């Protein structure tokens, strides 16, 4: 099975926190869903927004110490490790609907 | 159809034509397929609306069958790019999306050929192929409305974390409303089919619904494709964007 950005991010989260694999993947999956994103088609900017805006709260709720630092560490790792797995969002429905309205 | 409904229909036709031309011009600039497909749909729809209403506008009693046929096929040809637009934007990787496109295309072609066969266009419940054609052109609007509503839900969530402009999230809602209004207009066609069989009881109500859905369709498309600055600002101001916890 191909490695997705979600897999990479979950693995980095597991390494940077005291969470096990199941907990890391589950927590990230919940945050991605809360962000209205599709686990299979994540892009780096989307993951960064998830780790900036939603994950700190999720990690704190699960008792991870220094959630903000953990998120920063994961984001740094993702940016360097996942460039090959990044997907272009130029023809995503959001981009199309943006163009259609001239904005 | 009542006079006011014709006026609404002609106004909708002109607006659809303008929207279609604008999207086709956008396609010339971007070279992207979605604007081409939607532009063709609106251009064909605009021509259909105008063609359909010409006999009523100019009080023409006898309208050649060939022109009826031309107007009918103008409409039908517009539904194909509409279907491909919905598929390519919302379900490009789902096989079932292709099945819906295929089924609607078969319904449209078979329904139109067999509804217009025999020297007249027969829109009545006495002609079962009319129902087949009706399904072929109503299902795409229902599909568009449903998909846009689903995308609207997630786009609102994305907007909260700054991943989707609030005006784009709102545009999904406007397009969902457009799909819904078109389904209502299609339901009006069933009422007209019923009227042809002799029962005129609900025709006035249908006229009002039809006029209303056309005006409402124009309104939502105007906000979606030609958003005035005050509307964009209003939607943007109302949007709730989460702060970044790490900044705080």
Local confidence band at B198 (pLDDT 50, 70, 90 cut-offs): low
Chain A positions touching B144 (Cβ under 8 A) are none
ipTM of the predicted assembly exceeds 0.90? no
Which residues are within 8 A (CB) of B188 and not within 5 positions of it... i.e. 6 or more apart? B206, B209, B210, B213
Task: Summarize pLDDT for A53-77 with one digit per residue, the tens.
Answer: 999 999 999 888 888 899 998 888 8
Task: Summarize pLDDT for A12-47 with one digit per residue, the tens.
Answer: 999 888 889 999 999 999 999 999 998 888 888 899
B168 interfacial to chain A (CB closer than 8 Å): yes
For residue B197, what pLDDT is reported?
61
CB contact under 8 A, A100 and B157: no
Q: How far is A20 from chain B (nearest CA, A)?
A: 24
Residue A96, CA atoms < 13 Å, CB-side half-sphere: 19
Cα dihedral B172→B161→A50→A38 (10° resolution) = 0
Please tell me the total number of residues recorded for chain A in this structure.
103
For residue B55, what pLDDT is reported?
78
Local confidence band at B235 (pLDDT 50, 70, 90 cut-offs): very high
CB contact under 8 A, A54 and B26: no
- Please state, rounded to an integer, the average pLDDT across all residues of chain A: 85
Domain range list for chain A: 5-101
Structure tokens at B186: 């299609």
For residue B248, what pLDDT is reported?
42
Dist. CA B186–CA B163, nearest whole Å? 36
What value does the mean pLDDT take over residues B173-189? 94
Which residues are within 8 A (CB) of A72 and not within 5 positions of it... i.e. 6 or more apart? B246
Q: How far is B178 from chain A (nearest CA, A)?
A: 14
Dist. CA A4–CA B122, nearest whole Å? 54
CA angle A39, A43, A44 (to 5 degrees): 120
- Please state, rounded to an integer, the average pLDDT across all residues of chain B: 88
Structure tokens at B37: 């497909």
Residue of B nearest to A90 (CA): B32
For residue B53, what pLDDT is reported?
83
Chain B positions touching A49 (Cβ under 8 A) are 161-163
Chain A positions touching B232 (Cβ under 8 A) are 103
In sequence order, what DSSP letters do the residues of B172-223 get, joined into one string? HHHHHHHHHHHHHHHHHHHHHHHHHTT--TTHHHHHHHHHHHHHHHHHHHHH
Q: How far is B134 from chain A (nearest CA, A)?
A: 28
What value does the mean pLDDT take over residues B227-241? 90
């Amino acid at each position: 099975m191909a490695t997705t950005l979600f897999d990479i991010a979950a693995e980095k989260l597991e390494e940077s926190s005291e969470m096990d694999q199941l907990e890391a993947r589950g927590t990230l999956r919940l945050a991605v869903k809360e962000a209205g994103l599709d686990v299979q088609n994540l892009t780096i900017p989307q993951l960064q927004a998830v780790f900036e805006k939603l994950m700190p709260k999720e990690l704190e709720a699960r008792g991870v110490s220094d959630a903000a630092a953990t998120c920063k560490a994961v984001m740094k790792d993702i940016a360097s490790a996942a460039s090959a797995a990044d997907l272009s969002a130029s023809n995503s429905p959001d981009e199309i609907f943006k163009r259609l309205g001239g904005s | 159809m009542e006079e006011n409904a014709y006026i609404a229909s002609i106004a909708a036709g002109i607006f659809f034509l303008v929207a279609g031309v604008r999207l086709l011009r956008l396609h010339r600039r971007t070279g992207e397929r979605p604007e081409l497909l939607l532009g063709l749909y609106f251009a064909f729809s605009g021509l259909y609306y105008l063609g359909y209403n010409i006999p009523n506008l100019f009080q023409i009693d006898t309208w050649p069958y060939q022109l009826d046929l031309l107007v009918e096929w103008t409409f039908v040809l517009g539904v194909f790019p509409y279907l491909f637009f919905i598929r390519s934007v919302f379900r490009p990787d789902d096989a079932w999306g292709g099945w819906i496109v295929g089924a609607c295309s078969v319904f449209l072609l078979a329904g139109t050929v067999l509804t217009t066969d025999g020297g007249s266009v027969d829109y009545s419940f006495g002609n079962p192929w009319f129902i087949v054609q009706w399904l072929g052109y109503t299902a795409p609007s229902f599909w568009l409305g449903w998909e846009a509503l689903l995308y609207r839900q997630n786009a609102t969530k994305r907007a909260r974390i700054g991943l989707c402009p609030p005006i784009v999230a709102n545009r999904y809602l406007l397009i969902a409303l457009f799909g819904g209004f078109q389904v209502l207009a299609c339901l009006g066609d069933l009422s007209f089919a019923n009227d042809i069989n002799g029962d005129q009881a609900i025709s006035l109500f249908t006229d009002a619904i039809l006029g209303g859905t056309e005006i409402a369709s124009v309104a939502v498309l105007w906000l979606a494709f030609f958003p005035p600055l005050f509307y964009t600002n209003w939607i943007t101001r109302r949007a709730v964007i989460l702060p970044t916890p790490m900044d705080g």
